[in-house]
Amino acid sequence: MNTINLKQLEVWFVAGRTEAAIKRLRPTDAAVAPDWKSIVRVAWVFLLFPVSMLLLTVAFLVSRQTRMDLFTFLTALVAAAPWIVYFAVPYVENVAIPEMISALAASTWTMVMAIRILKQPS
């Protein structure tokens, strides 16, 4: 990719050639294409978290911990719902709303579990 001469861009903006300056600043299609590493990373973290929460739901159900069972199941739903909506209904691109909601659900569940473990007698 060519380096951008800022002085030339400034001259283009002042001269009214804003289209040429904006085209010069716009990234190429290859630069915005998703790479496989980021796709796998997102799938690994944000797809497997709800799956693991559902497995933990079964474990809590077997051990008859109904409050944690329900909380874990709801956390899995909250973490999975934005991804289902994201792939079902197209909405604003390049906004990390599903990632933020899933991460918030994961961190909330982690904090609740940590407090629960700390409250147990040694």
pTM for this prediction: 0.63
Q: Is 49 found in the same domain as 24?
A: no
Place of tokens 């990373």: 41
Range of the domain at 12: 1-33
pLDDT at 20 over 60: no
Alpha-carbon separation of residue 53 from 11, 13, 37 (angstroms): 56, 53, 24
Q: Is 75 found in the same domain as 23?
A: no
* Domain total of the chain: 2
Q: How many CB atoms lie within 10 A of CB 57?
A: 19
Tokens, residue 18: 């804003």
* Contact by Cβ (8 Å): 36, 89: no
pLDDT at 16 over 80: no
Residue that wins the pLDDT comparison between 49 and 1: 49
* Contact by Cβ (8 Å): 12, 42: no
Q: Is 5 found in the same domain as 65?
A: no
DSSP result, 7-59: HHHHHHHHTT-HHHHHHHHSPPHHHHSPPHHHHHHHIIIIIHHHHHHHHHHHH
Q: Which pLDDT score, from 0 to 100, does residue 57 have?
A: 93
pLDDT tens, position by position, 43-73: 777 788 888 999 999 999 999 988 999 999 9
Can you tell me the distance from the alpha carbon of 21 to that of 110, in angstroms, rounded to the nearest whole number?
Answer: 48
pLDDT tens, position by position, 80-119: 888 888 778 877 777 778 888 888 999 999 999 999 989 9
Q: Which pLDDT score, from 0 to 100, does residue 58 have?
A: 93
